[in-house]
Amino acid sequence: RAAISDVVHCDICGESPIEKGFEGPYNLIHSANCLECICKSIEQWSDFVSKLSKLLTPDGVLVLVTDIGDERIYRAGTIYAKPVKMTEELVMNAINKTGLEVTWSTTVVETSSSVFIEKSLFIVAKQKH
pLDDT in tens, 75-97: 777 877 778 888 899 899 989 88
pLDDT band at 114 (very low <50, low <70, confident <90, very high): low
Pairing type for strands 117-127 and 100-111 reads antiparallel
Mean pLDDT of the chain: 84
For residue range 10-36, list pLDDT tens digits in order. 888 888 888 888 888 999 999 988 888
User: 118 vs 5, 64, 98, 111, 125, CA distance in Å?
Assistant: 32, 16, 27, 6, 22
Phi, psi for 60 (deg, rounded to 5): -70, 160
Whether the per-residue pLDDT at 63 is higher than 90: the answer is yes
Q: Is 8 helix (H, G, I), strand (E, B) or coil?
A: coil
Task: Please tell me the total number of residues recorded for the chain in this structure.
Answer: 129
**DSSP for 35-69, written as a single string:** HHHH-SSHHHHHHHHHHHHTTEEEEEEEEEEEE-S
In DSSP terms, which residues pair with 100 in a beta bridge?
A: 127
Beta-carbon count within 10 A of 29 CB? 21
